[in-house]
Amino acid sequence: MSSTEADSTSDGKLTTRARIIHAAVRRFAADGLGAPLRAVATDAGVSPGLIIHHFGSGEGLREACDRHVLEATARSKESVLSPGAGAAAMLSQLAQIEEYAPVIGYVLRRLQTGGPLTRRLVDAFAADAVDYLRRGEKAGTVRPSRDREARARVLTEQALGALLLQLPAQQEHLDLDELPRWLDDYAERIIGPVLEYYTEPILTDPTLLDAYLAARPRSNQETP
């Protein structure tokens, strides 16, 4: 059973397990994944022992939060993300929806920390980018790539890496109420420069690329 199926009781109230997960996502987003279980327990209105009963350990709770967040982002991205917007834009748009700010904060904290969810999120964002770029190639608005998947992954990793470098809480408290505004300001700040180097390449001739491809002949193949 998924976390979404188990979130509510028959009268519409959150189950104890779901209440703990929601509280944990918010606490971990605000204070980092090392936030103490007693703080999560206080937020959820339960005892630390009840958290251990449901999840076995702090790591078990974080794994449950990972699953919850992955399901939430997968469920929501199609409704808020326009084709070609990319990973950073998706996070910014989702954060504008009040209920998703803790989810996006958790995603950023997890990206900082690493782990299985980080790899799964980056893989999912890169797969989306491959699809968007393929559509752009068919529409004639994006240049075909010699390696579409590799290009999409580099663009995704650059976008997420730049976002994390600017995040206003490296290992400190993250203000979830301010996160949507900060992400919106960040997106506005980078749109111009990003569009410039997408549409007006920095290098004025292909000498370096030609030399690289000559040394790596197998990479000089168009992706179908």
Q: What is the mean pLDDT of residues 151-168?
A: 85
What lies within 8 Å, CB to CB, of 218 at 6+ separation is none
Mean pLDDT of 126-135: 85
d(CA 142, CA 134): 8
Give the model's pLDDT for residue 121: 81
Specify the pTM. 0.73
Structural domains for the chain: 16-219 (1.10.357.10)
81 pLDDT more than 60: no
Average pLDDT of the chain to the nearest whole number: 81
Note the pLDDT tens digit of each residue in 18-48. Answer: 999 999 999 999 999 999 999 999 999 999 9
Residue 94's pLDDT is what? 61
* Mean pLDDT within 119-134: 85
The amino acid occupying position 151 is R
Question: Lowest-pLDDT range, 9-13, 35-39, 125-129, 220-224?
Answer: 220-224
pLDDT tens-place string over residues 166-222: 877 666 788 988 888 888 888 788 888 888 988 898 999 999 999 998 898 664 444
- At 124 the pLDDT is 83
Cβ burial of 59 (10 Å; 0-12, 13-18, 19+) is exposed
Q: How far apart are CA 83 and CA 80, in angstroms?
A: 10
- Give the chain's length: 224
State mean pLDDT over 120-149: 87
pLDDT at 77 exceeding the cut of 60: no
Share of the chain above pLDDT 70, in %: 78
